[in-house]
Amino acid sequence: MQQAVRRSARSGHHSSRTAKKEYGNIDQSASLKLTFGSGDETLILLIGSSERASWFLQRSMKLAYCHHYSKANKEVFRHNILCNIFQTMREILLMTRDLGIPLQPPSNESHAENLMSKTQDSLNWLHMPSDVSTAIAELWKDPGVLEAFRRMYRFGKYEDSEYFLNSVQRVTQKNYQPSSEDISRTVMEDQGVRNVMIPRKAAGRRFCYRFIDTVESSASGDRWIDASEDISLVVQVVDIADFDVTNFGHTSAHDAQRDVVLFKQICSSRWLAKTPLLVLLSNADSMIDKLEGQSLHHQSAHNSREGPDATSAKSFLRALFLDAETKYNTKVWIEFVGSGANAEIGKQVVGHIDKILTEESFRMYGIR
């Protein structure tokens, strides 16, 4: 199973500047790995063009199933949380220097020098030293640091970084155990690839779904598609709330059209020819809110099923993918899910995955 992760890491290194700024460089040592006993691990490729939709999906699944994480696994999350807080503050301090923003009061320079003189390798990341936690807490009050942080995240997500920096005094306590909210906001990486581990327990058996998250690399999505091995399921996340938005990096196509192109690449991939595909049309409720007085007819000049009401809009979007499914003879499931991050959405999505994988297991044995 690890072969797929290693191959993906070689084929398309997942290290965008945005991700590094938001989460920091995670140093996950060999002794700090998520483990789920001797149970099975199912690899799932997570792909799409919307980081926002993927981010909410991952948080929802963690919120729904984080109570299945063992104490040892929570220690891994604790390790990552502390590393991320430390690295994020270092990134902000570097930004203050690059932009020439002074720290206020000037006495905070000593805290900054203390942090910049340390490395993650030199610290015990199950317990953050008090001088480091104090320095971070004081610097997070500094107007110069806050200004640099605001500029860093002007064009990107910042909720997780801000959440943990606001919680630095709580998460650096010696008896700290990550809460459900903490776990849902924590990113894990392995071999340079972002992983989402969802623990499962059924009929007394422990296992997990390992999601290989390639959404941030959607600009080279076809490279990820053709570099995947041992994948049991592909999950494509489509943010239908942005059906009318044009991505400035792809000015010739709306986001919905780009997702259809990516869908066709998945269906036509020889690597994934027999792999089931779940298309999650995310933020359905947000799309309905935007539909007042609007129609989807501009998305396709050849489709007459559009309309301003929710039912016809959903039929139109479903048809965009089902038309491609018929052409490529690929087994596809299409489901609508709501917006935001909550446990109900997480349970709904994992329930779809359970059902699909069970059906595929029966199909392999000739049971239809």
Q: Measured between alpha carbons, how far is 256 from 238 in angstroms, rounded to an integer?
A: 7
208: three-class secondary structure by DSSP:
strand
pLDDT digits (tens, 9 = 90+) for 313-358: 788 888 878 876 667 777 899 999 988 788 999 999 999 999 999 8
Q: Measured between alpha carbons, how far is 332 from 340 in angstroms, rounded to an integer?
A: 24
- Looking at mean pLDDT, say which of 20-34, 46-60, 129-143, 289-303 comes out highest: 129-143
Q: Measured between alpha carbons, how far is 69 from 354 in angstroms, rounded to an integer?
A: 19
Crossing angle, helix 130-139 and helix 108-116, to 10 degrees?
Answer: 130
Angle CA 324–211–323, to nearest 5: 5
280 pLDDT more than 90: yes
Which has the higher per-residue pLDDT, 365 or 165?
165
Angle CA 91–93–98, to nearest 5: 90
Q: Measured between alpha carbons, how far is 117 from 119 in angstroms, rounded to an integer?
A: 7
Q: Which ranges of the chain does DSSP label H, i.e. alpha helix?
A: 2-11, 17-23, 51-65, 71-99, 108-116, 130-139, 143-152, 159-166, 168-171, 180-184, 221-225, 255-268, 284-290, 310-328, 343-364
Give yes or no for a contact between 256 and 207, defined as CB atoms under 8 angstroms apart. Answer: no
Query: What are the Cα distances from residue 147, in Å, to 32, 139, 234, 326, 342?
Result: 34, 12, 40, 52, 31
pLDDT at site 345: 93
Torsion over CA of 334, 259, 342 and 211, rounded to 10 degrees? Answer: 90
233 pLDDT more than 60: yes
Over residues 157-179, the mean pLDDT reads 87
Over residues 153-177, the mean pLDDT reads 82
The residue type at 58 = Q
> pLDDT band for position 110 (50/70/90)?
very high
DSSP letter for each residue of 24-39: ------TT----BTB-
234 pLDDT more than 80: yes
Over residues 144-155, the mean pLDDT reads 83
Which has the higher per-residue pLDDT, 361 or 29?
361
Over residues 14-37, the mean pLDDT reads 39
Q: Which domains does the chain have, with CATH numbers?
A: 2-18+32-69+190-364 (3.40.50.300), 77-180 (1.10.400.10)
Percent of the chain with pLDDT over 70: 71
Which has the higher per-residue pLDDT, 189 or 108?
108
Name the average pLDDT for the chain: 76
Give yes or no for a contact between 52 and 157, defined as CB atoms under 8 angstroms apart. Answer: yes
Q: Measured between alpha carbons, how far is 344 from 61 in angstroms, rounded to an integer?
A: 9
Find, among 232, 210, 217, the residue nearest to 61 by Cα.
210
